[in-house]
Amino acid sequence: MSQKIYILCVEDEADVLDVVVRELSVLEDVFPIETAGSADEAREALARIEAEGDALGVVFCDHMMPGENGVELLVWMREHPDWNVSRKVLLTGQAGLDATVKAVNEAGLSHYIAKPWDQDELVKVAREQLSRYVAARKLNPLPYLKYLVMDIVGDTLRANSASDT
């Protein structure tokens, strides 16, 4: 069985977290979802994923949270070899200019979604980012193909098919 690629949702308000997970769960038959209510819980979730030998494809992260804020978590992930390549999305209504600049410059932010968001947009961003993750790691896209964006993984797919034959 190939490596599982997770989606991680970090959000301190349980109601909002529920909605994010519900909307992303349309991808869950391929990309399992992990949840966290804070930066610390996110690290625990990452430790579990790592312990299983799995990977993190994309994190959707709120910014304004009690304790460590979202951008700080993303910066930490950027500096961590296991999560460096994972795609990072801010899903927030309250990141000011300074925090956003820091996220782009220091956390390698991949995408920014402002609250309130649209489900189609959310799922589209998730699929694009997961595709970029697969392409960046040059993984065989076949197990995940159902939700990948062909424009992004096409080259990787051809390269893999070539090596298969």
Residue 28 touches other proteins, criterion: CB under 8 A: yes
Candidate segments 9-17, 125-133, 137-145, 150-158, binder of other proteins by CB under 8 A? 9-17
Residue 164 touches other proteins, criterion: CB under 8 A: no
Beta carbons within 10 angstroms of residue 75's beta carbon: 20
- Terminal Cα-to-Cα distance of the chain (whole angstroms): 21
Q: Are 158 and 87 in contact (CB under 8 A)?
A: no
Name the residue nearer to other proteins (CB basis): 90 or 135: 90
Residue 21 touches other proteins, criterion: CB under 8 A: yes
Q: How many residues does the chain have?
A: 165
Cα-flanking dihedrals φ and ψ of residue 57, to 5°?
-85, -50
Q: Are 56 and 83 in contact (CB under 8 A)?
A: yes
Candidate segments 21-29, 50-58, 120-128, 140-148, binder of other proteins by CB under 8 A? 21-29
Distance, CA of 104 to CA of 108 (rounded, Å): 5
Residue 1 touches other proteins, criterion: CB under 8 A: no
Residues 92-111 that bind other proteins (CB under 8 A): 94
Q: How far is CA 31 from the centre of its chain?
A: 10
Name the residue nearer to other proteins (CB basis): 36 or 134: 36
One-letter amino acid at 12 equals D
Candidate segments 31-39, 49-57, 124-132, 140-148, binder of other proteins by CB under 8 A? 31-39
Residues forming the site for other proteins (CB under 8 A): 12, 14-15, 17-18, 21, 25, 28-29, 32-33, 35-37, 41, 64-69, 94
